[in-house]
Structure 1
Amino acid sequence: MKKVYFACSIAGGRDHAHVYSDIVTYIKASGGNVLSELFADKKLSDEVGMNMDPKFVWNRDTNWVKEADCIIAEVTQPSLGVGYELGIAEILKTPVLALFDETSGRRLSPMVSGNPHVKVVRYTNISDTKRVIEEFLS
């Protein structure tokens, strides 16, 4: 069973939180062990993330990134933390799948879309990511 770090925006805003639980469900159905499953909790707010001890969050999250066999990130909502985590993954040569909602009206940062280390998949319906996640984890 692959250990997966699921990265998504918390302090940067939870505009796409409604899809995070679907992504985690797809990861688990594909045999992944989601280290950061709590990030998909629809009740988790950006305020909760900001009110936690920053050193605790940094230690926990960077340790999870280091422990993970791969990273799956929902990158539609811009997030400094997710960008930082993807940078760590790149240094560690950990495979990264980045999912971006084409219908969001946002533009994906070229630092993600142009990175040869990151497999970017643009989707219009979250259910379209199920097959992509299955293939990525196989």
Structure 2
Amino acid sequence: MDIYFAGSIRGGRDDAALYADLIDALERHGTVLTEHVGTADVEEREEAVDLSDREIHDQDLEWLRRADVVVAEVTTPSLGVGYEVGRAVAWEKPVCCLYRPDSAHDLSAMIRGNAAVDVLEYQTPSGVESELEAFLESHH
């Protein structure tokens, strides 16, 4: 199973360690095409390989199109993640959004109100693991 993991990069990197834990959990179920999202220095890596914004966009859309499922951590608001979720829904990909309700940000109605998106509220990666596993197994 190819899994596309989406998380905020330019919108804020406060959750990078959390993303890494979620990616580790997802890797037990398949290949995470976007494992770099969980690295603390993702922006520096992109600059080091000299990727333009267009190249990043095109590469990410290629991975998104290839993915069997999309898992997005949406607690930190991100234009990019919202865009990726919207494209995935349009392409009829199974989408699961992870959200920590104790955050300072309310979850957008465009995510929570979308019947094509499964929203899982959680506090810790280990606390959502069984629900996330059920989502992945139902789309395998």
Do the two structures share a fold, i.e. TM-score over 0.5? Answer: yes
After TM superposition, list the pairs within 5 Å mapping 1:24-39 onto structure 2: 24-29=23-28, 31-39=29-37
Name the CA distance, whole Å, in 2 between partners of 1:49 and 1:8: 15
Name the CA distance, whole Å, in 1 between partners of 2:25 and 2:45: 25
Confirm whether residue 19 of structure 1 aligns to residue 15 of structure 2.
Answer: no
* CA deviations over 1:97-121 (Å, ceiling 9, x no partner): 0000122122000100000010001
1:3–1:68: 8 Å Cα contact kept in structure 2? Answer: yes
Structure scoring higher RCO (CA < 8 A, sep ≥ 6) equals: 1
Secondary structure at the aligned position of 2:77 is classed as coil
1:27–1:34: 8 Å Cα contact kept in structure 2? Answer: yes
Structure 1 regions of 5+ residues with no counterpart?
none
The residue that corresponds to 1:122 in the other structure is: 121
Name the CA distance, whole Å, in 2 between partners of 1:73 and 1:49: 20
1:10–1:49: 8 Å Cα contact kept in structure 2? Answer: no
- Aligned-pair distance for 1:53? 0.8
Name the CA distance, whole Å, in 1 between partners of 2:81 and 2:34: 13
The residue that corresponds to 1:71 in the other structure is: 70
Name the CA distance, whole Å, in 1 between partners of 2:18 and 2:87: 24
* Equivalent residue pairs, number: 135
Name the CA distance, whole Å, in 2 between partners of 1:12 and 1:105: 14
Name the CA distance, whole Å, in 1 between partners of 2:11 and 2:46: 9
2:17–2:39: 8 Å Cα contact kept in structure 1? Answer: no
1:3–1:70: 8 Å Cα contact kept in structure 2? Answer: yes
TM-score by length of 2: 0.89
Secondary structure at the aligned position of 1:121 is classed as strand
TM-score by length of 1: 0.91
Distance 1:110 1:60, change over 3 A: same
- Aligned-pair distance for 1:126? 2.3
Distance 1:103 1:49, change over 3 A: farther
* CA deviations over 1:53-83 (Å, ceiling 9, x no partner): 1111011001111000010000000000011
- The root-mean-square deviation of aligned C-alpha atoms, in Å, is 1.6
- Aligned-pair distance for 1:125? 2.1
